Chains A and B, each alone.
Chain A
Amino acid sequence: MKRRVILIVLTVIAMTVFVLAGCTTEKAKPSTKLQVVTTLFPLYDFARTIGGERAEVTMLLPPGMEPHSFEPKPNDIIRVSKAGLFIFTNRYMEPWAGSILKGIERKQLQVVDAGQGIAYMKAAAEDEHDHDHGDHHDDNHAGGMDPHIWLDFGNAALMADNIQAGFAAADPANATYYRANAATLKVRLTELDQRYRAGLQECATRTFLHGGHFTFGYLARRYGLEYRSLSGVSSESEPSAARMAAMVRQIRSSGVQYLFAEELLSPRLSETLAGETGVAVLKLHGAHNLGRDDFQQGTGFIGLMDQNLANLQKGLACRVK
C-alpha cells in the first residue's frame, strides 16, 4: 500500500516535470530572425532595443540570480550554439562565458565582448578595504578590475556601439535598421546622463555609503560622489568584524541619513549597520539582473536607473529641480 502511494506520487511528479519541460521547448520555435543570446540584463535590454522586431533576444541568466551563482546548463550551451550572435559583458564579469564558447563551433556565431575598448577602473582603488582584502578575494574578477561598466552611462553608450557592430556583422542585410535603433538608444542614454548630472548637482552630502559589495564605483566617479562599500568587488567575500566597525564609524562621522543596499541581494548586513547607527536603508539596483516580476513586466534599464536616481537624490538629500 505504502509503496503504491509513493509510486503514484513519483509518477505525478515525473509527469509534471515532463509537461513543464515540454512547455519550455515549445517556446523555442525555429525562426528566421537573428537569434541573439545575451548574458546579463543590461546587454539583454540594449540588444532588445537595437534588434527591435528583426531579432529574437534572450538572456542566459534566470531572473533573480546573481551572475556569480550562475552555472550554464546543457540547454544554455545549445541555445548559444544555435544563435547567430552571443553578447557578454567582459571577462571579469562572466568568467564562464569563455568556457561556454570553448565547446562551440564558432564559424557562424558572432561573439561580442561588449566591454571592448572601455577603460576599466580598478575596484576600490584608494579605499581602506583595498589593502584589507588584498588580491586573494578578487580572483573572481582577474586583477581586481571593477566589472560593472554599464553603471557609467558613457560606457553604456560604448557598449551599445559594440553591440550594434555585432548585430551589423551577424546580419548585414539589416545593418541600417540596427544602426538607427542604436542611435535612438544612445540618445536616451545621453538624456539619462543629463538627468543624473542635473539631479545630483546640489546635494547635502556627496558621501555615498553602500552596505554591500563594491558595485557603484563607475556611477559615483562619473557624478563626483565619494563611494565606499562594505566589502570588495567579489560578492562572495565576507566582511570582518573590524570592517563592520569601520563602516559604523564611517556612517557616524559622515553624518549621512541613509545607507544603500543592493536589490536582489539579502540586506542583512546593511540592516545591521543601519540599526547600529540609526540610519535608514535605501535600495539601489545594480541591474546585473532583474527579479522575476520585473522581468515579466518588461522593466527596462533606463527605468531602473531613473529609480536609482530618485533614491540617490533622497539618500544624499539633493535638491530636486
Chain B
Amino acid sequence: MDILEILSYGFIQRALLAGVLIAVLCSVLGVFLVLRRLSLIGDGLAHVTFGSTAIALAFKIYSAASLLVSLPVVLLASLGILRLTEKARLSGDAAIGIVSAVGIAAGIILASVGGGYNVDLLSYLFGNILSITREEVLIAAGLFCVVMLLLGLFFNDLLAITFNEELARVSGVQTRLISSVLVMLTALSVVLAMKLVGIMLISSLLILPAVSALQLARSFKACIGLAALQGCCSVVAGIFVSFITNLPTSAMIVLINLLFFGCACSLRRLLTPGNSN
C-alpha cells in the first residue's frame, strides 16, 4: 500500500492530526496520574460520562449539547475522587472504583426509569478515531493548547506534589489546588477526547506511554518527553499498521503501545545489568 495513497484520504489525515494531539495530551497527563496512583482515572471518568449522558438523553439532549451536562458532572466526579482519597484516606484505585461504579449504576437506573431512549446510548457515547470531523480536529487542538498551557504554568508545583506532597505543602505549594487542577484537566480531556476517539484509546494512552517512559527516563522532563514521543509514534504507527493489516485501528494503537512498553522494559534491563531487580 502506497503511503501517499493512504494519506490521500481525508479521514486518515484527520485521524493522524487529532490522534497525535490527543496522544501527546494523554501521555503527558498520564505521567502525573500514574505517579499519583490515579492510572485508572480515565476508565472511571468514562463511566461517569455514561451516567451523565444518560441524564442528557433523558431530557432529550443529543449530540454536542449533551457535553454541557456531562462536563460539569464529570468535573465534579473527578474532584470527588480526589476528596475521597484525602478525606476517607482511600487509595486512588478504590476511590476511582467507587466513583466509576456509581456513575455506571446511575446511568443504568436512569435508563430504566426513563423508559428507554430514541437512540442506542452506547453507540453515541464513544467516538472512533476514523470518524473525526473537521470541527473535532479543532476541538482537539483547542483542548491540547488549554491543557498544555495550564500544565506549563503549574509545572513546578505539579512536579513538587507528584514526588513529595508533604514536602510540597511545607514549602508553601497549595497542594489541594494543584491536585484539583490536575484531575480537572484530566476530566476535561477524558470527556472531550472520548467522544472523538473512544474510551479504550484514552485510558490506554493515559497509562502505557507513561509507564514505558518511567522505565527509561533519568529526569522528570525526559520522562514527559519520552511519554509524549511514544504516544505520538503509537498513533501514527497504529493507523498505518491498521491500514496494512486490515485490523481495527484503536486496538492496534493499544497493542503498539504494549510493544513499546515491552521494549522499554527490556532496554532498561540491558542498560542496568547490575541491578536487574
Interface residues of A (CB under 8 A from B): 17, 20, 62-66, 69, 73, 132, 235, 237-245, 248, 264-266, 268-269, 271-273, 275-276, 291-295
Contact = CB atoms under 8 A, between A and B. Distances in A.
A20 B110 CA distance: 11
Interface of B: 1, 6, 9-12, 15, 109, 111-124, 127-128, 130-133, 239, 242-252
A240 B131 contact: no
Given A240-B242, A248-B9, A268-B127, A291 B119 contact: yes
B109 A17 contact: yes
8 contacts: A62-B115, A69-B121, A240-B246, A241-B15, A245-B9, A266-B120, A268-B128, A292-B114
B118 A240 contact: no
B118 A293 contact: yes
Given A240-B242, A245-B243, A248-B9, A271 B117 contact: no
Contact of B10 (A66, A237, A276, A293): A276
Contact of A63 (B10, B115, B249): B115
A268 B115 CA distance: 25
B248 A239 contact: yes
B131 A272 contact: yes
A238 B250 contact: yes
Contacts of A73: 112
Contacts, number: 113
Most buried by B among A64, A248, A265: A64
A298 to B, nearest CB: 15
Nearest to A295: B116
SS class, residues of chain A in contact with chain B: helix
Contacts of A264: 118-120, 123
Contact of B11 (A20, A265, A272, A293): A272
Contacts of B10: 275-276
A108 B179 CA distance: 61
Given A240-B252, A264-B120, 15 more contacts: A62-B115, A62-B116, A62-B117, A63-B118, A65-B121, A66-B122, A238-B250, A240-B248, A241-B6, A241-B243, A242-B246, A245-B9, A265-B120, A272-B131, A291-B119
Contacts of B244: 242
Contacts of A239: 130, 248
A240 B248 CA distance: 4
A293 B252 CA distance: 39
Contacts of B132: 272
Contacts of A276: 9-11
A265 B15 CA distance: 21
A293 B118 CA distance: 6
Contacts of A65: 111, 116-117, 120-121
A73 B111 CA distance: 12
A48 to B, nearest CB: 17
Contacts of B114: 292
Contact of B130 (A62, A63, A272): A272
User: Which of B111, B115, B123, B249 has its CB near the most chain A CB atoms (within 10 A)?
Assistant: B123
B128 A238 contact: yes
Most buried by A among B6, B117, B120, B122: B120
B242 A64 contact: no
A171 B15 CA distance: 58
Given A238-B128, A268-B128, A69 B120 contact: yes
Contacts of A238: 128, 248-251
A292 B11 contact: no
B117 A291 contact: yes
B112 A291 contact: no
Contacts of B124: 266
B121 A241 contact: no
A291 B119 CA distance: 6
A54 to B, nearest CB: 26
Contact of B119 (A17, A64, A132, A272): A64
A64 B111 CA distance: 10
A269 B113 contact: no
Given A241-B12, A245-B243, A248-B9, A269 B120 contact: no
Contacts of A273: 11
A272 B116 contact: no
Contact of A64 (B12, B113, B117, B239): B117
A196 to B, nearest CB: 26
